[in-house]
Amino acid sequence: MIKSMTGYGRVEALCDGRNIVVEAKSVNHRFLEIALRLPAALYPLELEYKKKIGERFKRGRIDVSIRLEGEGAEASRVQLNMDIAREYFAVLTRLKDEFGISEPVRLKNLVSFRDIFTPPAESELGAEFLGVVEKTLHEALSMLANMRQGEGIALFSDMQMRLEAIRDTMEKIRMRAPQVVLEYQKRLAERIKELTGGLELDAARLAQEVAVMADRCDITEEIVRMQSHITQFEALLQSEEAEGRKIDFLLQEMNREINTIGSKGNDAEIARQVIEAKSELGKLREQAQNIE
């Protein structure tokens, strides 16, 4: 069954006095793109978490954030070592005086010395706490996946309805196609009589002209292929491996067939039905952009 690429999931859990908040959302994307935001204490697990996310989804931009809130959740702040900063300032001032440099020592000169700053210490997280984080992440991803699946059900119903409309349209075109040749034969016979003043027609010559026209306007092959594409489309929607890329390709083929029918049909009624079919195909393409 098809799945949408849009969804949202949010789960909270409490452990060791800290609140673990995991938010996961996804939007349309041609490929799978994962954006993960973590607190500093969880940076070592970034690749592992991305791997778990990648195992759940095939397509779409997945944004996941993990936050730790509450007592002890914030890492210690960046510390400034003023003693080292003063020493650097003094050395830079001496160099400036020694070489007669008029430019003053600026803040941008000092911040380039990284040892002036002490980075925040990473808090130690126990195995039990990390287990709760992973469980919360799993639940948020499941919520996201369920919402994508629910959206997929709505997409499935809409696309089935539009495929049925296209199938009906193709049946009307199939029924109309033989009439086009008969009407052409009748119009051609009447036109020849009008131009020749009612003289007897050469039946063989008339049949030849009609045969040429019938061959040029024959859309049987396109109708058969279009019906085959519709059947494949329906099977793909219901398969376990329904993929948006395959559906995109199938829609391109269907659009090509209906355009050919429109150019070869040579009939106002067929042209009207082609417009109806292309309208439904356009709506299908819009929906297909959101399929995983």
What pLDDT, on a 0 to 100 scale, did the predictor assign at position 110?
84
> Out of 138-142, 194-198, 260-264, 285-289, which region has the weakest mean confidence (pLDDT)?
194-198
| Cα(202)–Cα(160) distance, integer angstroms | 51
> Out of 58-62, 193-197, 287-291, which region has the weakest mean confidence (pLDDT)?
193-197
Do 267 and 230 lie in one domain? The reply is: yes
Tens-digit pLDDT profile for residues 178-213: 887 676 666 666 666 665 665 566 666 666 765 666
Q: Where are the beta strands (DSSP E) in the chain?
A: 7-15, 18-27, 32-37, 60-70, 79-80, 117-118
* Nearest-5° Cα angle at 278, 276 to 281: 115
> What residues make up the domain containing 98?
79-118
Whether 260 is covered by a domain: the verdict is: yes
237 is written with which tokens? 């929607």
Whether 261 is covered by a domain: the verdict is: yes
Do 271 and 195 lie in one domain? The reply is: yes
* Nearest-5° Cα angle at 272, 268 to 278: 140
Residue 99 contacts by C-beta under 8 Å, 6 or more apart in sequence? none
Q: How many domains does the chain have?
A: 3
Q: Give 33's strand partners.
A: 61
* Residue 290 reports pLDDT greater than 90: no
DSSP string, 153-192: HHHHHHHHHHHHHHHHHHHHHHHHHHHHHHHHHHHHHHHH
Top-confidence residue, 179 or 146: 146
Whether 99 is covered by a domain: the verdict is: yes
Do 67 and 138 lie in one domain? The reply is: yes
Do 144 and 11 lie in one domain? The reply is: yes
Do 175 and 251 lie in one domain? The reply is: yes
Q: Is 11 in contact with 136 (CB distance < 8 Å)?
A: yes
Do 26 and 137 lie in one domain? The reply is: yes
| Cα(152)–Cα(166) distance, integer angstroms | 21
Tens-digit pLDDT profile for residues 225-243: 999 999 999 888 887 765 7
Top-confidence residue, 209 or 112: 112
Do 54 and 188 lie in one domain? The reply is: no
Q: Is 226 in contact with 254 (CB distance < 8 Å)?
A: yes
What pLDDT, on a 0 to 100 scale, did the predictor assign at position 6?
92
Do 113 and 186 lie in one domain? The reply is: no
Do 160 and 143 lie in one domain? The reply is: no
Average pLDDT over residues 70-91: 74
Q: Is 82 exposed, middle or buried (0-12, 13-18, 19+ CB in 10 A)?
A: exposed
Whether 195 is covered by a domain: the verdict is: yes
Q: What is the pTM of this model?
A: 0.64
Average pLDDT over residues 2-9: 91
The dihedral through the CA atoms of 260, 265, 266, 269 has a sign that is negative
Q: Is 198 exposed, middle or buried (0-12, 13-18, 19+ CB in 10 A)?
A: exposed
Whether 1 is covered by a domain: the verdict is: no
- Report how far Cα 46 is from the mean position of its chain's Cα atoms: 25
- Closest by CA position to 292, among listed 253, 251, 245: 245
192 is written with which tokens? 């020849």
Do 16 and 136 lie in one domain? The reply is: yes
> Out of 5-9, 45-49, 100-104, which region has the weakest mean confidence (pLDDT)?
100-104
Do 134 and 223 lie in one domain? The reply is: no
* Residue 73 reports pLDDT greater than 50: no
* CATH code of the domain in which 23 resides: 3.30.230.10
Whether 254 is covered by a domain: the verdict is: yes
| Cα(180)–Cα(175) distance, integer angstroms | 10
Whether 22 is covered by a domain: the verdict is: yes
Do 105 and 202 lie in one domain? The reply is: no
CA-based R_g, the chain, Å = 35
106 is written with which tokens? 């600026």
Whether 2 is covered by a domain: the verdict is: no
| Cα(169)–Cα(161) distance, integer angstroms | 13
Q: Which of 102, 134, 149 is the last residue of a domain?
A: 149
